[in-house]
């Protein structure tokens, strides 16, 4: 008799996603539900939007809790994805003290929850921990070039402190941690007024407005489509316990901001032109991930090309804006 392959057993888990109604969080909640898990979405709706999770509200395995993670949270979960924090300059500079508290006090609260429940916990860190880098592309070993006194410091230093807390809880209390450093991500569910370059350019072009470049637009960025990023987060969470990170997750295909603006105008058409504005303080000149560790440790790399991802994102904003 020929033996039949044994199907892979999917272990159903109860997963907490903080910032679950945000851009990344909403996509992550949908992915976890599709994978068969129960999802507890926690959000204070400071920047998250109910529209992002509207399609999930009828799922009996999805639960929504309005809560600010700067306050303690008492729930029972198996895994925690800590995504809660304003992530665009417009939002995190609006209330910088609150931004720092969300990163630092929020991390302490979520790590305390993980310690009590024995849950694995993943920190959504950021490429901003590298600041305005003097090493290019940026490997995880690079310690960064960050201005602790500048207008972006509430986010940059808050995330750096959160990483410190994660590794100290791991060493001191044995908490199972994962740290992902997320590079520029884009796609549906971005807020139209979040100040991020992709959404700025697409919304302006759809409205027939000019696209503003800061400086000469020679700064470089590397843009990762949201489905690729979510796949990387899940793969990191599912990796062996000894894989703690930090691990860069992003697309290593680099483009200038001017090149992005030209590509968006070409895809949308219309009367939009490129105009120039003064360069903001501490704006990184180069930003591109070294993803050698993600490729070798996780077997992960992005698959969605920029042109394809932009088309999908443009379609989302066109429907959102009613154009």
Q: Active-site residues: which are they?
A: 155
Contact 217, 264 (CB under 8 A): no
DSSP 254-275: EEEHHHHHHHHHHHH-SS--EE
Nearest to 200 by CA among 180, 184, 181, 183: 184
* CA-derived radius of gyration, the chain: 20
Tokens 């058409």 sit on residue = 269
Q: How deeply is 256 buried, as exposed, middle or buried, from its count of CB atoms within 10 A (0-12, 13-18, 19+)?
A: middle
Token output for 94 = 């609006």
Q: Which residues of 89-127 are buried (b: 16+ CB within 10 A; e: fewer)?
A: bebbbeebebbbbbbbbbbbbbbebbbebebbbbbbbbb
Residue 60 DSSP code? T
Helices (H), the chain: 23-34, 50-53, 89-92, 96-117, 153-173, 197-206, 226-237, 257-268, 292-293, 306-321
CA atoms within 13 A on the CB side of 120: 18
3 state DSSP class of 123: strand
Secondary structure (DSSP) of 72-91: ------SEEEE--S--SHHH
């Amino acid at each position: 008799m020929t033996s039949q392959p044994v199907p892979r057993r999917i272990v159903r888990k109860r997963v907490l996603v903080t910032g679950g109604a945000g851009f990344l969080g909403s996509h992550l909640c949908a992915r976890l539900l599709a994978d068969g898990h129960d999802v507890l979405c926690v959000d204070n709706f400071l920047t998250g939007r109910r529209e992002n999770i509207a399609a999930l509200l009828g799922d009996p395995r999805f639960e929504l809790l309005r809560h600010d993670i700067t306050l303690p949270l008492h729930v029972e979960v198996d895994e925690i994805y800590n995504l809660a924090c304003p992530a665009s300059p417009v939002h995190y500079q609006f209330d910088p003290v609150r931004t720092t508290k969300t990163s630092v006090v929020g991390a302490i609260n979520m790590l305390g929850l993980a310690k009590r429940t024995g849950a694995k916990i993943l920190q959504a860190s950021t490429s901003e921990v590298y600041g305005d880098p003097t090493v290019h592309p940026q490997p995880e070993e690079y310690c960064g070039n960050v201005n602790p006194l500048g207008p972006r410091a509430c986010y940059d230093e808050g995330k750096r402190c959160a990483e410190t807390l994660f590794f100290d809880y791991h060493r001191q209390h044995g908490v199972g941690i994962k740290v992902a450093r997320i590079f520029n991500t884009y796609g549906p569910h971005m807020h139209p007024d979040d100040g991020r370059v992709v959404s700025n350019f697409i919304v302006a072009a759809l409205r027939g407005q000019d696209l503003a470049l800061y400086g000469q637009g020679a700064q470089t960025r590397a843009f990762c489509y949201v489905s690729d990023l979510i796949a990387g987060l899940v793969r990191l969470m599912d990796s062996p316990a000894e894989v703690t990170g930090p691990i860069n997750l992003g697309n290593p295909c680099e483009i200038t901001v001017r090149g992005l603006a030209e590509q968006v105008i070409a895809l949308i058409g219309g009367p939009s032109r490129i105009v120039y504005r003064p360069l903001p303080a501490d704006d990184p000149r180069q930003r591109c991930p070294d993803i050698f560790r993600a490729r070798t440790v996780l077997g992960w790399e992005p698959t969605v090309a920029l042109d394809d991802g932009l088309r999908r994102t443009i379609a989302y904003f066109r429907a959102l804006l009613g154009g």
